[in-house]
Amino acid sequence: MINLIRSLGRWGLGTFERQGRAHLFLFNMLLGIPGLFLRFSLVVQQLFSVGVLSILIILISGLFVGMVLGLQGYNTLVDFGAEESLGVLVSLSLVRELGPVVSALLFAGRAGSALTAEIGLMKSTEQLSGMEMMAVDPIRRIIAPRFLAGIIAMPLLAAIFSAVGILGGFLVGHGLLGVDDGAFWSQMQAKTDLYDDILNGVIKSVVFGFVVTWIALFEGHDATPTSEGVGRATTRTVVHSAFAILGLDFVLTALMFGDE
């Protein structure tokens, strides 16, 4: 019993200590961001690797998610004779929920894991230490540009996901199931609000980008500098990011749409 309490206490202390390190790490990253505007090329390079290289998976996934939404939505709506509203269903589902959430999950799997592995390997091969000894702060030179790039890339990827998804829904709805294209687009335009729907979706994806990139970079920086340690850190990035995305999605949805 004593041992159980002791290990619980150890776990609790370890968790708090880790949380403390993660927040100090975040603080240092945020301090490094203003300096990046003088060397924006560092951010552009990272935008390419976390953003541009994630586009393919976002395009393909977005298209299929939209097509499935089109099929499932039509089957439900047609029972009520409301199949003309398919455009609204597809666009609201994507812009409010699926766009930010699914693209963030994909982003965590594609770019987040890559960031953790990259930083973890830089740590284990003493590249970060080497940089410190060359009087170059790795948090500002290596970590902060990746953090900012993640925050910028995430809403753009979510927007691409939603746009391609709507196109997928249209292809299935109009091309396969015969929904009127005018009704599809006009109802979508009429019922999708710029502020309530699109802006809230963008806010969600910015928050997800912030959290996922923070988790990925911290896990890499805090990884045990061995191949096993880096592997475990990469796994933790994907798992913790998924929990964070889904948990925060509920909180944000309750705040944004809870009183409708």
What is the residue-wise DSSP string for 190-257?
HH--IIIIIIHHHHHHHHHHHHHHHHHHHHHHHS-SSHHHHHHHHHHHHHHHHHHHHHHHHHHHHHHH
Q: What is each CA distance from 42 to 33, 219, 241, in whole angstroms?
A: 11, 21, 25
Instruction: Please report whether residue 17 would count as binding other proteins according to CB under 8 A.
Output: no
Least separation in angstroms between residue 125's CB and other proteins is 6
Least separation in angstroms between residue 141's CB and other proteins is 7
94: amino acid identity, one letter: L
Nearest residue (CB) to other proteins, 127 versus 253: 127
User: Which tokens in the block code for residue 139?
Assistant: 């948090």
Q: How many residues does the chain have?
A: 260
Total binding residues for other proteins by CB under 8 A?
14
Sole binder of other proteins in the list 127, 186, 224, 253 (CB under 8 A): 127
Using CB under 8 A, which of the segments 124-132, 173-181, 193-201, 216-224 binds other proteins? Answer: 124-132
Using CB under 8 A, which of the segments 2-10, 134-142, 183-191, 233-241 binds other proteins? Answer: 134-142
Sole binder of other proteins in the list 8, 52, 136, 251 (CB under 8 A): 136
CA angle 64, 97, 183 (to 5 degrees): 65
Least separation in angstroms between residue 34's CB and other proteins is 15
Least separation in angstroms between residue 226's CB and other proteins is 14
Neighbours of 183 (CB within 10 A): 17
DSSP 3-state of 137 = coil
Instruction: Please report whether residue 135 would count as binding other proteins according to CB under 8 A.
Output: yes
Binding site for other proteins (CB under 8 A): 122, 125-127, 129-137, 141
